[in-house]
Each structure stands twice: as structure tokens, then as C-alpha cells.
Amino acid sequence: MAKKEIKTDELISYIVEGIENVKGQDIDILDLREIENTVCDYFVICNGTSNTQVNALVGSIQKTVSKAIKDKPWHVEGSENGEWVLIDYVNVVVHVFQKHIREYYDIEGLWGDAKVTSIETAY
């Protein structure tokens, strides 16, 4: 039986759901498709208030995506310190930061040509 083809927008919606489940903050989706030589099509960026919340966000994202569409990340990096964790779903890369680390690296500024969609949260 062939593996079901997962739509990128469906994957992103489950990633955002996983972030919202543990109250991740400042959720931005960067559309990189119009930029040459990018490593993926989208970045999903959010932040938590502590290393505990960053790791909870990572766990929630992975659990939500796995349960909904049976997909696992190709690679996860940074879980040891919980300051910046990267979750690589190949065409979508998720960056989960502590706020001060996100401000320092300013990925949105580095990818200033990307179309940015900010997700409003109710909390």
C-alpha cells in the first residue's frame, strides 16, 4: 500500500495546532517558495517562555502531526538545551525558540523577502 501524499498546507495546520495546544507564542509562517536556493518551502516559527515550554512545544508538534497524518520529522536538532529546536519535515522546517534567542537570531529578518503570515492566538 502506497503512503498517502501529505499536503504541505495540511502539515502546517497540524504543526500550528500542536503549537497552540501548549500555548506557543508569536507564530509566524514564512513562505520561501518565491526565493531562490532555499532549503525548504516554509518555515514555521514560534517561541516559548522557557526551555521546559520549548520542549513541550516540540513534543506537542510531533505528537499532533504523528497522530493526524502519521508523519515523523526527518530530523530534530537542539532538544538538549531547549533554547532553539529545529524540527525538519523536509518541505516545512519548524523553529521553536525561547523569545530572547529568537530575537537574537532574527530569522524573519534574514529571510526578509519571504511572505510572512502571522497566526493570531486566543491566549
pLDDT (tens digit per residue) in 78-114 = 999 999 999 999 999 999 999 999 999 999 999 999 9
pLDDT (tens digit per residue) in 59-78 = 999 999 999 999 999 999 99
Question: According to the model, what pLDDT value does residue 2 have?
Answer: 41
Q: Identify any residues that bridge with 25 across adjacent strands, giving them in sequence order.
A: 47
pLDDT (tens digit per residue) in 5-23 = 569 999 999 999 999 999 9
pLDDT beyond 50 at 3: no
User: By CB neighbour count within 10 A (0-12 exposed, 13-18 middle, 19+ buried), where does 79 fall?
Assistant: middle
pTM comes to 0.92
Question: Which domains are seen in the chain, by residue range?
Answer: 8-118 (3.30.460.10)
